[in-house]
Structure 1
Amino acid sequence: MPSEQSTATAVPPRPARRSRAPRGSLNPDLILDHALRLLDEKGLDAFSMRALAEDLGVGTMALYTYFRGKDELFRAARDRVLATYTPPSTEGSWDQRLRSACIAVHELFIGRPAVLRLLAESTASDDFLDAATSAMDRMLSLLLEGGLGPEDAARAYGTLSRFTIGSALREVRVCARPEAVEIFRSRIAALPRDRFPALADLAPELLLSTESGREQYEYGLDLILCGIRHLASGPA
């Protein structure tokens, strides 16, 4: 006679549940921890206050006790991430230290794509100043140390910051849409060589620059730094 254990219907395991906020433990830091995780997992477009409340195991209105709305929550999340930036302690010349500082900012942005979008889509210049003061001060100090005048230092910083943010955005978008590289490859291959000889001849190199995000960023950064060093060495 078959045992009761062998004839019993197997009960499927329950799916793992996310940890809930203990009663009375809700606070801004806990909310931001969960918000940043959801932003990393689901992206900016799929994020909602309701989804965040469900993840925390609280009612949606409980979140508004700490943040007046999603925009305020996003600003706090962005500031939390940018506050983690620590200038690298790399030794060397001013331009070597500047290079390391730029790469550290680029890596910070790549690691937080949703926060990068929040920063890039902000229309208020004071938002960026409030969030990235330490990085800005570090880079400007190094440019001044290298011998640039005030105007050149400010404009060189603007060039470096725009290139760093733009490169990080492009890399994040390519990672989010891996098919984009194949689309680009197909379009290049379809171009008539007699009309676009340079594009046709350099197709492999163009594809390499599209696929190697970090390497391509450093290549472009070195080109900019080369120009900055030339500017710092004396009058044009």
Structure 2
Amino acid sequence: MARKENAPKRERRERGSIDPEEIIKGAFELAEEIGVDNLSMPLLGKHLGVGVTSIYWYFRKKDDLLNAMTDRALERYGLAAALKHSSDDWRTRLHDHAHAMRDVFLKNPILCDLILIRSSLGPRNAQLGALEIERSVENLMREGLSLEDAYDSYSAVQLHVRGSVVLERLHEKNKAEDSAAQAYYENLIITPDQTPLLAEAAAKGRVGGAPDEQNFEYGLSCILDHTSRLIDEQKNAPTSAAKRSRSATKAPATKAAPRRRAKSAAGS
């Protein structure tokens, strides 16, 4: 019986023959095959054909490598370009911003794993992230919101985006490990007899609790509607206060008039 030939091994490279960019590139190649969670320095060394010490020379620990990968991923997948403001209208801008973030993360699982799940951000991109939040909060404050309301509104959008993306990504990971794995909303037993409303909604394409486009858009609209109400309240607040102030100024004069007429009548 003929022996099965092993896959050709990559030749061991000489020490010092690899640079950081090549290590990062190799890390992405390996992560595409085995995922970020399973990435390790020994496996990466084997993939690149170098001793693990050659990798540690540039990256002292795995977190350092992941941070460098995140920096490259942000450039590679164009997250910054996707988040450029698309409109002068605050609602359209924030709506497009949320969808752009979600689309980039959904299309690039490694970026999702690095940033949203592992939170592997180097100092440079951590600062850029803070500046993006600062700019978004400032734009909302220009519409009349207080710092607290502007910050809470943008935080709600961020949480909504990240929550929906991470839920979908974790579902994909579970499916990869076990093809029969199902999310809780896929396990629900819906029948026309016992749950007629759910059955009717399902027939119309609704999936309760799923991080799909329909539910994402509905949740985002609710956040934007609430933010819009806060902005309207702030715009109307000065007018209401001015009316109350004018009414309070006129009130004493109205009460004083009868007294003056009473004195005049007594004198006559």
Q: 1:4 corresponds to which residue?
A: none
2:46 to 49, 54, 79: 54
Distance 1:129-1:183 versus aligned 2 partners, 3 A rule? closer
Equivalences for 1:162-173 in 2 at 5 Å? 162-173=159-170
Equivalences for 1:41-120 in 2 at 5 Å? 41-82=33-74, 84=78, 85-86=80-81, 87-120=83-116
Q: 1:222 corresponds to which residue?
A: 221
2:45 and 2:28 map into 1 onto residues whose CA distance is: 13
2:169 and 2:11 map into 1 onto residues whose CA distance is: 29
2:219 and 2:110 map into 1 onto residues whose CA distance is: 24
1:57-83 C-alpha deviation (Å, 9 max, x unpaired):
211111111111111211222233345
Structure 1: give runs of 5+ residues left out of the alignment. Answer: 1-11
CA contact (8 A) 2:20 2:58 kept: yes
Q: Which structure would you say has the larger Rg?
A: 2
- TM-score w.r.t. the length of structure 2 is 0.66
Aligned length: 222
Question: CA offset at residue 160 of structure 1?
Answer: 1.1
1:24 and 1:42 map into 2 onto residues whose CA distance is: 26
1:22-54 C-alpha deviation (Å, 9 max, x unpaired):
985522222222223322332122211112122
CA contact (8 A) 2:164 2:216 kept: yes
In structure 2, what residue type is equivalent to 1:207? Answer: V
Structure 2: give runs of 5+ residues left out of the alignment. Answer: 238-268
2:97 and 2:8 map into 1 onto residues whose CA distance is: 41
CA contact (8 A) 2:12 2:49 kept: yes
- TM-score w.r.t. the length of structure 1 is 0.73
Report the RMSD for the aligned CA atoms in angstroms. Answer: 3.9
Distance 1:118-1:22 versus aligned 2 partners, 3 A rule? same
Distance 1:82-1:192 versus aligned 2 partners, 3 A rule? farther
